[in-house]
Structure 1
Amino acid sequence: MFKHILVPTDGSDLSQQAVDRAIAFAVETGARLTFFNAEPAFPAMYYGTGAIFDASMPRRFHDEVDSVGQAILAKAAAQAQAGGVACDTLALASDSPYEAIIEAAGRCACDLIFMASHGRRGIDALLLGSETQKVLTHSSIPVLVYR
């Protein structure tokens, strides 16, 4: 069946529940997991006349975002290892999380993406759209959605 499963996680409650279920699924199927975190890229900003730009700001932004993402991934990996499941972790910076998820699945040669049904709620989800829906629409490999 499935041998290598990508599990995107952002640390939210529903995402954590999906991690728990993905680990149980991997135990049942004998699959290995790759936990993935799509880190936001440094936002492109317009700096008008007289604006002061700190050249170290992009590096500090990346370091902070990476630190949070690595903590999320480390927690998921520790859970998988405690459950006897082989796993890896991967983080990519991207303005488009769904594209990063699909890219990560391809890079890791995954045969399934196992993800939470949603992360945002309310007006944010309405305006920004569902990353899960976009993955479902654009992925060339199966996607299992945890609700």
Structure 2
Amino acid sequence: MFKHILVPTDGSQLSQEAVMRAITFAKETGARITFFYAKPEYPVAFYGEGALIDPTTPEKFAQMAEQQAKEILDACTKLAAAEGVECATRSKTSDIPYEAIIEAADAAGCDLIFMASHGRRGLGALLLGSETQKVLTHSKIPVLVYR
């Protein structure tokens, strides 16, 4: 059935639970996994006519984002290895995570995206929507949502 699964993660508790379930699913179906982390872009905040200056340089911010991605993806890799599931990792800098997730799945040749149902609720969900919802509505690849 499914042979290559993309598992996006952001390191949150819900995301980590989805990672564990995806590993079990992959082991049961004989699939391999590509774990994916969308690194944030350097934030620039504008106020009135000027920009608020962040003391962190873009280079330092990118370095910190890369380190965070490495830590999160390494943890996923260790969990998969412990269960004997073949895996790889990818990350990409993007402020539009749902697009980065779909692009990563296409680029890796995945036939399923397995992701958590992120818990944005209320007005925030109405105004912003969740990344999971956006992946569901834009992906041509099947999406399995873990709750």
Q: TM-score, normalised by structure 2?
A: 0.90
Closer/same/farther in 2, CA of residues 52 and 71 from structure 1, 3 Å limit: closer
The corresponding residue for 1:67 is: 67
The corresponding residue for 1:109 is: 109
Deviations 1:30-81 (A, max 9, x none): 0000000011111244596798787x71011111112112111110110001
**2:36 is paired with a residue of what secondary structure?**
strand
Structure 2 gaps, min length 5: none
Paired with 1:98 and 1:123, the residues of 2 have a C-alpha distance of 20
Report the residue type matching 2:71 in the other structure.
A
Paired with 1:39 and 1:50, the residues of 2 have a C-alpha distance of 22
User: How much has 1:123 moved relative to structure 2?
Assistant: 4.5
Paired with 1:126 and 1:142, the residues of 2 have a C-alpha distance of 24
The corresponding residue for 1:80 is: 80
Q: TM-score, normalised by structure 1?
A: 0.90
CA contact (8 A) 1:8 1:101 kept: yes
Report the residue type matching 1:75 in the other structure.
A
The corresponding residue for 2:97 is: 97
What does residue range 10-49 of structure 1 map to in structure 2 within 5 Å?
Answer: 10-46=10-46
Deviations 1:67-106 (A, max 9, x none): 1121111101100011000000111110100000001001
Paired with 1:24 and 1:8, the residues of 2 have a C-alpha distance of 15
**1:11 is paired with a residue of what secondary structure?**
coil
CA contact (8 A) 2:112 2:143 kept: yes
**1:35 is paired with a residue of what secondary structure?**
strand
Structure 1 gaps, min length 5: none
Paired with 1:51 and 1:119, the residues of 2 have a C-alpha distance of 30
User: How much has 1:128 moved relative to structure 2?
Assistant: 2.1
Paired with 1:118 and 1:96, the residues of 2 have a C-alpha distance of 15
Closer/same/farther in 2, CA of residues 42 and 119 from structure 1, 3 Å limit: farther
User: How much has 1:125 moved relative to structure 2?
Assistant: 3.2
Closer/same/farther in 2, CA of residues 41 and 142 from structure 1, 3 Å limit: same
Name the Cα RMSD after superposition: 2.1
